[in-house]
Amino acid sequence: MIDLFYMQELPVAVMGLGKSGLATARALRDSGAEVRVWDDNPASRAAAEAEGFAVVDLATADLSDLTTIVWSPGIPHTFPKPHPVAQRARALGIELICDIELLGRAERDCAFIGITGTNGKSTTTTLVGHILAAAGRKAAVGGNLGTPVLTFDPIGSGNTCVLEMSSYQLELTHSITFDIAVLLNITPDHLARHGGMDGYIAAKKLIFHRQTWPRTAVIGVDDEHCRTIHADLVAAGDQRIWPISARGPVAGGVYAADGWLVDDTDGEAARVVELSALPTLLGAHNWQNAAAAFATCKAAGLPVPAIVAAMATFPGLAHRQQLVGTLDGVRFVNDSKATNADATEKALATFDPIYWILGGQAKDTGLNGLEGYMGRVRHAFLIGEAQEQFAAWLDAQGVGYTRCGTLDVATAKAAGMALAERLEGSCVLLSPACASWDQFANFEKRGDAFAAYVAGIIDAHGNTGDGTSGGVA
């Protein structure tokens, strides 16, 4: 656990007692701080009280001796409406920070790599961590990815901290200057939380906060917003800048072209690996992730052969185009992490034909932008709150669908149709384009349920009959 020695004997509050919030409270207490905690959820308060924490309603308690509240990034503190505790804190001059800021203040001597973007940041963060570990580098990997950063073992000088950074976390992290900062892409998401698109873009740009030479900015240039940021960085000239692209050559960067990953950071446009040799990085979106990870690890000083060798052994990311089983040539792919249309687009562009399971709690953008992929969809299977909304959208696209309601029914019906039709290359794809909260606690639970249903279908069928694996991958 990270030692927050500088907080010893200081009063500090923790607002929000989820996984990271509780980890923060524990780290503070173990470091000798005087800790008060609060969560609007009674069950979360009870869990904290059971661990012996002082549960104090921060909306009404005396906060005059506090200088810091460690804030759960998921709780609104500005838009669309600031939480009352945030309003009180700001009126009293109390700083709001997240757990990653505490980490940065405690670990000033390690190297920091920060990775953000609307989509792909979890895969890229995991891939960078995998490459560093394979090359023998000590690296702590976490942040928005799921591992609370204050549960890390002490990191220290000469080692690396690889952090997936959400826009929420970037707004609450002030002192870390990333040695290597990665911005993959920007598409509309979380707009209500940032007061619109301009606020969202501004939050993402914070990944490059205070970077100076020889620090490195790795930035995707496949969308208009990031191209504008790239141009601004180049004009400022404050740091080394390596552009990346999944769509073709970019001078001085890393890109995918003609089926290869190409490194032009030294001006030599050298082919480094054939993309088909990276089986867990299928599709153009993953080519961007591969380019970003390659550039990041090269900037970190790893030799190219070591980077390429490690990329080829990457196991992939759970719940992101994860192959969970194959039966009679039909692939079953868990893409539960695709909680918006832009993320689902990546999966729809990768597979064909598709028996598509979708639905849940819809985002504001719905299925907009997916029209061009409907020729790949053999049939759609609808679940959750968005069922009727998505049915109307599919009607307009001329795509056949079945209302299934729940994921178990959808998985069974999709598998039945795919196995009956036996089309070459077919894929039963869970890529919901929705949040999971109407039926599942999170996208991980949704993906795990899908994998379990697939395992049951495969077990019921026994051997595949075509030499492919009948088990769960």
Question: Any bridge partners for residue 180, and if so which?
Answer: 113, 216
CATH of residue 86? 3.40.50.720
Domain membership flag for residue 358: yes
Residue 210 DSSP class: T
Q: What is the overall mean pLDDT for the chain? A: 94
Query: Does 123 belong to an annotated binding site?
Result: yes
> 88 with 136, same domain?
no
What digits encode the pLDDT tens for the residues 405-461? 999 999 999 999 999 999 999 999 999 999 999 999 999 999 999 999 999 999 999
- Among the options 174, 190, 413, 445, which is catalytic? 190
Give the amino acid at 402: T
Residue 204 appears among annotated catalytic residues: no
pLDDT band at 472 (very low <50, low <70, confident <90, very high): very low
Q: Longest Cα pair distance anywhere in the chain, in angstroms?
A: 71
Burial environment of residue 254 by CB neighbours within 10 A (0 to 12, 13 to 18, 19 or more): buried
- Among the options 77, 83, 130, 144, which is catalytic? 144
CATH of residue 355? 3.90.190.20
Query: Does 301 belong to an annotated binding site?
Result: no
| Six token digits for residue 233 | 């960085």
> 355 with 306, same domain?
no
- pLDDT higher than 80, residue 465: no
SS3 label, residue 233: helix
Residue 121 appears among annotated catalytic residues: yes
Query: Does 122 belong to an annotated binding site?
Result: yes
| Six token digits for residue 72 | 């759960």
Question: What percent of the chain has pLDDT above 70?
Answer: 98
> 286 with 341, same domain?
no
Domain membership flag for residue 356: yes
Q: Is the pTM of this model over 0.85?
A: no
Dump the DSSP string for 298-354.
Answer: HHTT--HHHHHHHHHT----TTSSEEEEEETTEEEEE-TT--SHHHHHHHHTT-SSE
- Among the options 77, 83, 121, 130, which is catalytic? 121
Which ranges in 3-71 belong to alpha helices (H)? Answer: 19-30, 42-50
Overall average pLDDT of the 200-228 stretch:
97
The Cα 34–Cα 16 span in angstroms is 17
* Phi, psi angles (nearest 5°) of residue 432: -70, -25
pLDDT band at 275 (very low <50, low <70, confident <90, very high): very high
Residue ending a domain, among 271, 287, 313, is 313
What digits encode the pLDDT tens for the residues 153-185? 999 999 999 999 999 999 999 999 999 999 999
Q: What is the pLDDT of residue 188?
A: 80
Residue ending a domain, among 67, 97, 127, is 97
> 75 with 118, same domain?
no
Query: Does 360 belong to an annotated binding site?
Result: no
- Quote the number of domains for the chain: 3
Q: What is the pLDDT of residue 191?
A: 81
Domain membership flag for residue 407: yes
> 69 with 112, same domain?
no
Q: What is the pLDDT of residue 90?
A: 95
Query: Does 117 belong to an annotated binding site?
Result: yes
Neighbour order of strands in the sheet with 427-430: 322-327, 330-334, 427-430, 354-359, 377-383, 401-405
Residue ending a domain, among 313, 348, 365, is 313
The boundaries of the domain holding residue 261 are: 107-313
- pLDDT higher than 60, residue 401: yes
Domain membership flag for residue 467: no
